[in-house]
Structure 1
Amino acid sequence: MAEGLTGTGFYPQPNEWTCGPFALKHALLALGRMVDVSQISSTAKTHWWSGTNEIQLARAARAFECDLVLERRTDAEQARKVLTKHLREQTPVLLCVEEWSHWITVLRAEDKRFVVADSTDEPLLSVKTWPQLRNRWKYHDVDYVKDNPPVLYDLMAVTPRFRTTVKGDFSVERVKFLRRPENRRLARHWNEYLEDLLEICRPPTHRIAEPLSMGEFLRRHQELLLTRVVYWHGDVNRDEVFRVLRDLRFVSETYGLVIPASMSRRALGDLAILISLWACADRGVNGMFGAPGSEVRAAAKPRKKRNGKR
């Protein structure tokens, strides 16, 4: 089920006319900015009949400190080179595809494959070959001439006015990981993971003397987090806690976030609190110290395989 216009993360659009705001949202998310589609739609004045055109999207982008840089090419190979140039600079690009009727976001180019966020797809993130993307992208300018119209390739690079301290690296392998059915929850709640991590971690900078990646930090402290959260909550198991830590690591490494060694103790405390809150939200908590607690939900039973064995 779609979350509507106020959900977090990567999820499909709930109607036929908000592809423009969704495309801009995904571009901003790649730049480390988390904005609700409802805010973009309201600023752009998206209409149920006409959707959102490039002028409206540019207005919305300016409201969130970005410019849409329009470039047009008539040659497919030149269009690919311009698109790839922006993506190598980690600048997300909006394309209006299907004869200028639908907006998508291109996040990365890798070995002639392109990572695309399309809000009408499920899963939303996908990997396209150049011929696949080119065939959707090309526009026949019938307004210019009806017979044998010229083919145009228009793109809009989302260029930030602000100093980007974090940018998402949505590689092909990462997108393949997010497309797995078991990782759908991570994709749909991407913003929540990122918001929490930005409180715990720091963007990479030469000023940090001893930066620790989330992978290295968890190598040192994961066992402590697992054992203590499982012990104190009592109704979650190690695999469940490990999965949340794995997802936090995945998002952290997508944006290159680090933990200064001098802040390790604080980060460990923050993560312990965060995982404990997740355990209470997911499974409830018994009453304690006179507080009534909340509903305690039983752990989900493992599904049986088709042959009847677990």
Structure 2
Amino acid sequence: MRLRGITRSRNIEDRRGRGRGRAGAAGGLGIGGILIVLVIGWVTGIDVMPFLSGGQAPATASRPVTEADQREGEFAARVLATTEAVWAQEFPEQVGRPYTPPVMVLYSGVTQSPCGGASGATGPFYCPADQKAYLDTAFFSTMRNRLGAGGDFAAAYVIAHEVAHHVQNELGILGQVHRARQQSSEVEANQLTVRSELMADCLSGIWARNVGDLMERGDLQEALNAARMIGDDHLQRQAGRVPQPHTFTHGTSEQRARWFQRGYDSGQMNDCDTFAARQL
């Protein structure tokens, strides 16, 4: 991905290298729950769902900020700027209202949000309560080394996915999903979350379509590969478990890649309405 000429976003809150904290379960919607399945689930078999809160982990000091962290932070700030440019154009054109971008919180080790505590194990997530996306920049190395989802555009897709949850929040969708989840059984709540996540994948595809002039050969495949590598069925198989669809919270590898491709091909937000789809 060619970002050399892109000015970094000003909507960055850099908390890296600060103090100590306590890390609870991740809040909000995002790829965070998937990383927990990988890092913790492989050992314990526990699957932590988005929007749930639980016990807290021991206090942990933020790790020192390395040169690699600095590079990843600069990368994230520039990718965030591309999402701002895309949605500042697409949101008013397709929705008829101005777009207000989110703030991205960069942290190292642990941090807190109104949706709960976050640690490196929770991965990126979006918190509707403060309209901020949270990212431990070390997650990119986790993608490369543990998820098999390397490449700069794969990392950019992760950021675009969390921003897509903000787009959903701007549309009022996240609040509706959260209220519906509270009135549903666990299986039904999971199904609602899957639809929300696949919609975010589709919206990420719209972003990718609109940054085509920044893409290099293989970038689209990097994003599609990342979507497949973080499908619930693939992750459960990687954890040595038989896939259990009723526990899925993000969708299968095939679904995630297909909905991303749908947004990329169409460019229309209406085509990303997973809640109206009979089949995902």
Point out the structure with the larger helix share.
2
Point out the structure with the larger strand share.
1
Structure number with higher relative contact order (C-alpha < 8 Å, ≥ 6 residues apart): 2
TM range (shorter): under 0.3
Give the alignment's TM-score, normalised by structure 1.
0.26
